[in-house]
Chain A
Amino acid sequence: DIVMTQSPDSLAVSLGERAAINCRSSQTVLYTSNNKNYLAWYQKKPGQPPKLLLYWSSTRDSGVPDRFSGSGSGTDFTLTISSLQAEDVAVYYCQQYFTVPRTFGQGTKVEVK
């Protein structure tokens, strides 16, 4: 299995400030034949299902604000929230879909400082 490790486990950021979450995979999730990283990011709020934010590591899903962006390639990735809003308080998960099982990171809790 590909193990996904996120850091930090939690972070507190002031409103309007930048938040960055890292995700590392135990092996590459870059498919060289199409140069795509098979990595997605989700936002999870209590009592709600996860919401897809990004796929192919940096493509925003429909309706996702542009303050959310993804970067990285191969085994190291970052989700950045450029200007934290109150509604962004949530747990964020990365997931690789390069191979099965399609494993998730352990989650990163984002709070307001």
Chain B
Amino acid sequence: QVQLQESGPGLVKPSETLSLTCVVSGGPISSNHWWSWVRQPPGKGLEWLGEIFHNGNSNYSPSLKSRLTMSVDKSKNQFSLYLTSVTAADTAVYYCTRGPHGWADYWGQGTLVTVSS
């Protein structure tokens, strides 16, 4: 059974960089799946942020492309998200997911990141 677990600081200061890692267990990250990040601001809907394949190919949301980077570490079976210059609007629950064709069949439990000084 594939499991995903997000980790990272729960509090980030404005203008700093938000860094999250998703550890994948129960299967190799080098499988034929896209690994993505989705967030949900408090009281709002789901927002797709981007996705990455194990070979490093990636797609990002145009609205975040200038601030967003994703990476894969096959040796640790994990992938990461880096979002620079954060503001209060980036406060959200962040989910990592696995998807075979663009939908997400496995999700992490989510981690709340608050942007505040």
Judge if A75 is at the interface, Cβ distance under 8 Å: no
Residue in contact with B107 in the complex, picked from A49, A97, A103, CB distance below 8 Å: A49
8 A–B contacts from the bound complex (CB under 8 Å): A49-B109, A95-B48, A97-B103, A101-B48, A101-B60, A102-B48, A104-B48, A107-B46
Minimum CB–CB distance from B1 to chain A (whole Å) comes to 11
Q: Do the beta carbons of B45 and A103 come within 8 Å of each other? A: no
Minimum CB–CB distance from A45 to chain B (whole Å) comes to 12
Alpha-carbon separation in the docked complex, A61 to B106 (Å): 11
Residues of B participating in the A interface, judged by any CB pair closer than 8 Å: 36, 38, 45-48, 50-51, 59-63, 95, 99, 101-105, 107-110
Residues of B within 8 A of A38 (CB): 101-102
Q: Do the beta carbons of B105 and A1 come within 8 Å of each other? A: no
A35-80, CB < 8 A from B: 38, 40, 42, 44, 48-52, 55, 61
Residues of B within 8 A of A61 (CB): 105
Minimum CB–CB distance from B76 to chain A (whole Å) comes to 22
A95-113, CB < 8 A from B: 95, 97-98, 100-107
Q: How many A-B residue pairs have CB under 8 A?
A: 62
A contact residues, range: 20 to 34
**A50-B48 in contact given A61-B105, A97-B101 (Cβ < 8 Å):** no
**A101-B45 in contact given A50-B104, A50-B107 (Cβ < 8 Å):** no
Q: Do the beta carbons of B104 and A52 come within 8 Å of each other? A: yes
Q: Do the beta carbons of B102 and A97 come within 8 Å of each other? A: yes
**A49-B95 in contact given A1-B62, A101-B62 (Cβ < 8 Å):** yes
Alpha-carbon separation in the docked complex, A105 to B45 (Å): 8
Q: Do the beta carbons of A52 and B103 come within 8 Å of each other? A: yes
Q: Do the beta carbons of A49 and B46 come within 8 Å of each other? A: no
